[in-house]
Structure 1
Amino acid sequence: MTTYPVIMAIAGAVAIMGSVFLSYNLYQMIAMDAEARGMPRPRLWAFMSLPNGNGAGALPVYLVVRRKHTRRPFNHKEQEAYKGYKKKAKLSLLILLIGMFPLIFAVIHYLALS
């Protein structure tokens, strides 16, 4: 028995964990930005901008619409929270990539062996 299915399961779990954390941090960053710009329903904009199963969601629409709204400067507390979410998003993307590379290679090797 090969170890490829075990590697695929572990790498898949790591990739899913990274994508969930990335989505959460993007949601928080977009909600903070939309609120600072005074856009109506910032949480709805943040939710709609999350990636869905067939593309990038409404993120391109949000990026176009937000240009019409000037952003007020973040206060110190908001600035620190935004920086924290940005760091966490970068780390989440790294975790996602760390999970995806072994998953892709294990699937290729598994399919080549069968």
Structure 2
Amino acid sequence: MMDKNIVLAVIFGAAAVVGAMETVYQIYQLTVMDAAARGLKHPKLWGLLAANGNNSSGLLLYLIGRRNYPMNSIDSRQLVVMEKRKKAAGIGLVFVAVGAIGLLVCLGRVGL
């Protein structure tokens, strides 16, 4: 019985890690696309800042700084790609939530 809980805990933990990695990647890609469309200098650096950070301070800095730059050069194809990336980031967050809850339940049953 204990082995089954440990295996499930590993599976849920892996789901949480994969979901977190997917979410960070999608935030990076969305930030790069948005920064390039707004004409900000160094969009990849903004993407790294937004995806990094323990408390999302880079993302907050980007969101505050982009207010001065209206979106100029974006076409309908880029809008479609951005919407798909937003949905993928949401799915990643679902994986993180389900993985974390499952991991806690399994570890609670094991007694760790």
TM normalised by structure 1 equals: 0.87
2:20 aligned residue = 19
Q: Match for 2:86: what amino acid? A: K
2:40 aligned residue = 39
Greater Cα offset, 24-33 or 89-98: 89-98
2:98 aligned residue = 98
Determine the C-alpha separation between the residues in 2 that align with 1:72 and 1:103: 44
Q: Match for 1:82: what amino acid? A: M
Give the CA deviation at 1:109. 2.6
1:107 aligned residue = 107
Q: Match for 1:94: what amino acid? A: V
**Retained in 2: the 8 A contact 1:50–1:57?**
no
Q: CA RMSD in A?
A: 1.6
2:89 aligned residue = 89
TM normalised by structure 2 equals: 0.89
Give the CA deviation at 1:102. 0.4
Greater Cα offset, 6-15 or 56-65: 56-65
Give the CA deviation at 1:45. 0.3
**Retained in 1: the 8 A contact 2:9–2:103?**
yes
Which runs of 5 or more structure 2 residues have no equivalent in the other structure?
none
Q: Match for 1:31: what amino acid? A: V
Determine the C-alpha separation between the residues in 2 that align with 1:88 and 1:63: 20
Which one has the bigger helix percentage? 2
Give the CA deviation at 1:103. 0.6
Determine the C-alpha separation between the residues in 2 that align with 1:13 and 1:51: 20
Determine the C-alpha separation between the residues in 2 that align with 1:30 and 1:104: 32
Which runs of 5 or more structure 1 residues have no equivalent in the other structure?
none
2:8 aligned residue = 7
Determine the C-alpha separation between the residues in 2 that align with 1:75 and 1:99: 36
Give the CA deviation at 1:96. 1.5
Give the CA deviation at 1:21. 0.8
